[in-house]
Amino acid sequence: MKKRNFLKLFALASFVVPALFATAQSKLDKQVLMTIGDQDITAKEFCDVYYKNNLKSDVIEKKSVDDYLELFTTFRMKVMEAERLQLDTSAKFQKELAGYRKQLAKPFMSSDDITDELMQEAYQRKLKDIRASHILVRCDKNALPSDTLRAYNKAMDIRKKALAKGADFGKLADQYSDDPSAKGWEASDQRPASPGNHGDLGYFTVFDMVYPFETGAYNTKEGEISMPIRSDFGYHIIKVQSVTDAMGTIQAAHIFLQLPFNAPKEDVEAMKQKADNIYKQLMEQDGKNWNEMVAQYSDDKGTVSRQGALSNFTVSRIVPEFIEVCKSLDINEIGKPVRTNYGYHIIKLLGKSGVGSFEKESKGLSERIEKDMRSKKSEEVVLKQVKSEYKFKQNDKNLETFLATVDSTILRAAYEPAASVDMNATLFTIEGKPTKVSDFVGYIKENMKAQKYVTPATYAYQLYETFSNTTIMDYADAHLEEKYPEFKELVQEYKDGIMLFDLMDREVWDKAVKDTTGLKEFHERNASKYMWGNRAYATIITVTREESLPKVKALLDSGIELDSLRSAIQHDSIKYAFVRRGYYQKGDNQFVDQTEWKVGVRNEIASTVDQSTTIVCIRELRNPEPKTLKEARGLVTSDYQVELEKNWVQSLKERYPVKINEKVLDKVRKLYK
């Protein structure tokens, strides 16, 4: 049994009892329904579990209160036994529970409003494909303020040139952009030559670019040029060339005529003429000769066997000239030849997925947002809420005083505080509890790394922001159980589930596998439960080609021992004949079932769908007999586990006697009648 599935069985999320039951159950909540060992179980504890797992959930077979009470009682006894054995104290257990708790905490540590806003934003962007160019002015994300300002001013100057009448954005990209793809590069041992894209980034949609760039592009109208957009790479000046309906996933085929981007003019003209002639022949037959033309002319040998079909792709995965043609075509329409840096393509659009409804796309969007840097928006909102809720107060004076003492050793990851530093000074408080300079110094020593482009004070402040934010979020995380009772209950149920899994593995599942003596004894006591039915020992020869059948039949007619048949077939180089043998019960093999069960019978069965023939030879008949432990190990082990658990549960009942309060139980029965 997989642990994740096992845990889900006991993972009981929070719920609200319907109003119909609220008044009646409130009177029962604190009444003791039962006592297990020395633990009292209230009616609420049982009713919460019963309602969630038996009434609210989509179980096929609803259980009565009494039936479910037996399951609940057994579960609680097992948990009590796990606690007695202190299974929750091991390092392995604590690590595993911490991992589950971290996942469970995510919904309680995020802003639903911001998440919904990001989902809607991402979906609206997913509806459109953008083609854009950019000019990059590089600026390190940790650059000094003076360097950042210098880069921004340079970007503004370039933007001014780009806005001038008659300005060529591509030439400006060649001249000013720090993105090497704009200018291209010469061939080297590491990579082939590139002609440069003149700043043209081709087509993209949501999640294809870093979030700030994406936002800048989607907030810029078609044909316009953005203000400088800051990302970790520097400042981007973006020109949006087109905004079109999204194609989604594209299926297309092509006839490809290879031609280097720097080919001589006469070669280009000759290849263009060839492409035009192929297209003309395709049009003369309305594209019905597509497969033949692909096979005859395409230089993309990897797709020839698939009639030119490429692997499915999105707009950001292929050159923009190719996408332009795809966007102009209807399904199964063939476009005029188009040249890219690789050669000429004649493209046939096979299909496109488009974008589904918000409901259909929401799961995928949610997963992408969680991994994307835009998720920081939600984190920022939560951080602000948490700081307010837990009364986070920063002592600006003490912080400034400390930052002024940090010297350049921090940039070499060798920082040691000066003797004059007041290590007891308070940097901030959380609900009145101080966090001191000494705490931050310890954090610096553990987390500092060698740096460039920043001053010591700037880097120290970056570390401080991370330190203070982490401290307040850890504080909020540590108080989740008291703030959200449903979270506390959920963590407890996962804790119980992990303990119970480990206990069941120890007392039942793994024990049944390792206890070979007990397993053998159990099999001997219950041998009559594991019986073979009537069986035939048969040899089955499958011949897949007609020309091999006479040779196989001749071997059989010669009286060859069936055990030697496989060797004889190989010795005589008979191809397309395969031999297998074994014991078969009715229903195990269709060909054996079609054969009379009589020793010496040979049955020949010809296929009705291909050239194969199956020959069955009955060699031995066996009456019903017990299976050996080896033959029945899987079933025997499973049944032995059932017995082990039954005996174990009985011992638990003796260790933890159960007393039921029948009056309270009767009230619970009436509540859910």
Is residue 583 classed as helix, strand or coil in its secondary structure?
A: strand
Position 343 pLDDT exceeds 60: yes
Percent of the chain with pLDDT over 90: 76
Exposure class string for 182-212: b at 16+ Cβ within 10 A, else e: bbeeeeeeeeeeeebbbbbbbbbbbbbbbbb
How many residues does this entry show for the chain? 673
C-beta atoms surrounding 628 within 10 Å:
13
Give the Cα separation of 260 and 267 in Å (integer): 10
pLDDT tens readout for residues 10-37: 443 333 334 444 555 567 788 999 999 9
pLDDT tens readout for residues 493-517: 999 999 999 999 999 999 999 999 9
Position 110 pLDDT exceeds 80: no
Q: Which CATH number fits domain 531-626: 3.10.50.40, 3.60.40.10, 3.30.420.10, 3.40.50.300?
A: 3.10.50.40
Give the Cα separation of 440 and 36 in Å (integer): 49
pLDDT tens readout for residues 380-432: 888 999 999 999 999 999 999 999 999 999 999 999 999 999 999 999 999 99
Stretch 254-268: mean pLDDT, rounded?
Answer: 93
Query: Beta strand 531-532 with 625-626: parallel, antiparallel or unpaired?
Result: antiparallel
pLDDT score, position 147: 87
Position 188 pLDDT exceeds 50: yes
pLDDT score, position 10: 44
The helix (run of H) or strand (run of E) holding residue 169 is helix 169-176
Give the Cα separation of 169 and 136 in Å (integer): 12
Is residue 593 classed as helix, strand or coil in its secondary structure?
A: helix
Task: Fill in the amino acid letter for 339.
Answer: R
pLDDT score, position 25: 57
pLDDT score, position 254: 97
In whole numbers, what is the pLDDT of the chain averaged over residues?
90
Stretch 38-66: mean pLDDT, rounded?
Answer: 81
> Could you tell me which residues come within 8 angstroms of residue 536 by beta carbon, excluding any fewer than 6 positions away?
583, 584, 592, 595, 597, 618, 620, 621, 622
pLDDT tens readout for residues 515-573: 999 999 999 999 999 999 999 999 999 998 888 999 999 989 988 888 888 888 888 88
pLDDT score, position 191: 65
Task: Fill in the amino acid letter for 491.
Answer: V
Residue ranges covered by each domain of the chain:
128-245, 250-352, 391-478, 531-626
DSSP 115-174: HHHHHHHHHHHHTEEEEEEEEEEE--TT--HHHHHHHHHHHHHHHHHHHSTT--HHHHHH
Tokens 């001014």 sit at which residue?
160
Q: How far is CA 2 from CA 88, 104, 267, 422, 506, in A?
A: 19, 19, 63, 54, 15
pLDDT classification of 55: cutoffs 50, 70, 90: low
Dihedral (CA of 531, 536, 541, 544) sign = negative
Percent of the chain with pLDDT over 70: 94
Give the Cα separation of 502 and 290 in Å (integer): 62
Phi, psi for residue 229 in degrees, rounded to 5:
-110, 125
Residue 181's Cα: distance from chain center in Å? 32
C-beta atoms surrounding 64 within 10 Å:
12
> Could you tell me which residues come within 8 angstroms of residue 240 by beta carbon, excluding any fewer than 6 positions away?
130, 131, 132, 217, 220, 221, 222, 223, 224, 226
Dihedral (CA of 123, 128, 131, 134) sign = negative
Comparing 59-63, 169-173, 349-353, the range with the smallest average pLDDT is 59-63
Give the Cα separation of 58 and 44 in Å (integer): 21
Comparing 107-121, 318-332, 473-487, 649-663, the range with the smallest average pLDDT is 107-121
pLDDT score, position 52: 81
Identical topology for domains 250-352 and 531-626: yes
Tokens representing 316?
Answer: 């950001």
Position 614 pLDDT exceeds 90: yes
What is the CATH code for 250-352?
3.10.50.40
pLDDT score, position 57: 56
pLDDT score, position 189: 67
On whether the CB atoms of residues 418 and 403 are closer than 8 A, the answer is no
- 632: nearest Cα among 522, 509, 508: 522
pLDDT score, position 9: 43
Angle, helix 629-655 to helix 65-84, in steps of 10 degrees: 90
Position 443 pLDDT exceeds 90: yes
Phi, psi for residue 102 in degrees, rounded to 5:
-60, -40
Measured distance between the N- and C-terminal CA atoms of the chain, rounded to whole angstroms: 34
pLDDT score, position 589: 93
Stretch 209-217: mean pLDDT, rounded?
Answer: 96
| Protein fold of 128-245 | Chitinase A; domain 3 (3.10.50)
Phi-psi label, residue 286: left if phi above 0, alpha if psi -120 to 50, beta otherwise: left
Give the Cα separation of 114 and 473 in Å (integer): 18
Give the Cα separation of 672 and 357 in Å (integer): 40
Tokens representing 547?
Answer: 């020309």
C-beta atoms surrounding 280 within 10 Å:
9
Query: Beta strand 234-245 with 128-138: parallel, antiparallel or unpaired?
Result: antiparallel
Tokens representing 468?
Answer: 């203070």
Position 140 pLDDT exceeds 90: no
Give the Cα separation of 261 and 270 in Å (integer): 14
Phi-psi label, residue 349: left if phi above 0, alpha if psi -120 to 50, beta otherwise: beta
Q: Give the ranges where 234-374 is alpha helix by DSSP (H).
A: 265-284, 290-297, 301-304, 320-328, 358-371
